[in-house]
Amino acid sequence: MRIRHPSPNCGPRRDGLRPELVVIHYTEMPDAEAALERLCAPEAQVSAHYLIGADGRVWRLVEEDARAWHAGAGEWCGRGDVNSRSIGIELDNDGRSPFAAPQMRALEGLLPGILERWRIAPSGVIAHSDLAPERKVDPGPRFDWRRLALRGLAVWPFSPGEAALPLDATLDRIGYPRVAPDLRLAAFRLRFRPGATGPEDATDRALAAAVAHATEAPPA
């Protein structure tokens, strides 16, 4: 079920930009109703295009052709103003718990239409932590990116191979911002190798090479 609940926290997309990314967030709030209130409060100056509750309810807060205020400072593939280039989806989750099955099913029902309408590739579905590794960690290590990738809704390193490039160069190819190497590594691991610690290693390089290949592969 999709519920229209307009948020005033939006505006026109700048410079003729259109959505080329979908950014996944978690709310880190007590429940969906609390998140809904904040995302629609003018003084909060924050919003998203969609909010998905743990029970699978979907609220449409901002029209897709408008600029919602969800990404903040950051960049992807060397380009900033991510708000003007993206659709933002907030998931009702406290940042520690698994994402509920009805919520994941609702997300999987929502994403295909967005990707088709705006001709966004699966590689354009990214984490908030991907574009802002200095500030953000959502949707965090409990989010099932592999599940989305199996449905053609994201990328995943299904067949890691031997990396031919240093990790830093491969993260450039994927799109990660040029921030401190430890922050880039942490952001990459948070999404593709949660729980890994220590200096970069051969596994990181092999996984990153597989992600880069999936990112650059032409549509099937």
Residue 138 has pLDDT above 70, yes or no: yes
The answer to whether 216 is a known catalytic residue is no
Residue 80 has pLDDT above 90, yes or no: yes
Q: Using an 8 Å Cβ cutoff, are 85 and 122 in contact?
A: no
Domain residue extents for the chain: 2-155, 157-220
pTM for the predicted model, two decimal places:
0.96
- Catalytically annotated residue among 20, 90, 108, 116: 90
Question: Which listed CATH number (3.40.80.10, 3.40.50.20, 3.40.190.10, 3.30.300.130) goes with 2-155?
Answer: 3.40.80.10
Q: Using an 8 Å Cβ cutoff, are 139 and 127 in contact?
A: yes
Residue 172 has pLDDT above 80, yes or no: yes
Q: Using an 8 Å Cβ cutoff, are 209 and 161 in contact?
A: yes
pLDDT digits (tens, 9 = 90+) for 23-52: 999 999 999 999 999 999 999 999 999 999
The rounded distance, in Å, linking the Cα atoms of 27 and 25 is 7
Q: Using an 8 Å Cβ cutoff, are 184 and 192 in contact?
A: no
Under the banding of pLDDT at 50, 70 and 90, the label for residue 216 is: confident
